Structure 1
Amino acid sequence: MSENNRLRDVFDAIADPTRRRLIRLLAEAEEIPLHELTAQFPMGRTAVSKHLTILKEAGLVLDRKVGRETRFRLNAAPLREIQDWVAFYSKFWSTNMLRLKQLLEEEEE
């Protein structure tokens, strides 16, 4: 699925803590079968599958069948949109940290 054909907004997809944890688990492994992912959560396979579907719709997760098993892997490319959005606002944090540093240095003198 190309970035232009995504069915779901990436920000919407990562809004849920369960989906953020799924992304983290997938980022730490090359590929994970559904039953191994399900074992990491206090919910059933159907609920985990629903979260994975949302991530797939946003282009964040890819899957493939191996026999009767479905394996999932992360496609991190759509996260660039989030990184770009956050990067724009980082200048405000940098400015505030610089002001704090100056204030602390003035108090020391």
Structure 2
Amino acid sequence: MGHARAAGGVPRMMEWLSDNGLLLGLAVLDGLASAAAIFMVAVGLNLVFGVLRILNVAHGSLYAIGAYTAASLTAAMVAAGLPAGSPTRCWSSPRRWWASSSAR
């Protein structure tokens, strides 16, 4: 029919998914988090323009301030020896982060 199916196409895909499924899931969650942040900025612009009929472009600077604050807090957490990653990674690890940090 024009499209030749590769031998073992579905098993190869399932093998790739079993190897990289966590990475794919994290990429999807990262994309959703970025989209949610951009959505919040867009909704703020839309509400201000819809109510006041004035285009207020201060949302971009507030978004940047929030990003710099989050980056600074993450750097401070890392400097203090606290985990800066996902909380679920800390909770689900066999050795709790507070047990490993107190042994230093």
TM-score (norm 2): 0.30
**Structure with the higher strand share, 1 or 2:** 1
Find the structure with the greater CA-based Rg: 2
**Structure with the higher helix share, 1 or 2:** 2
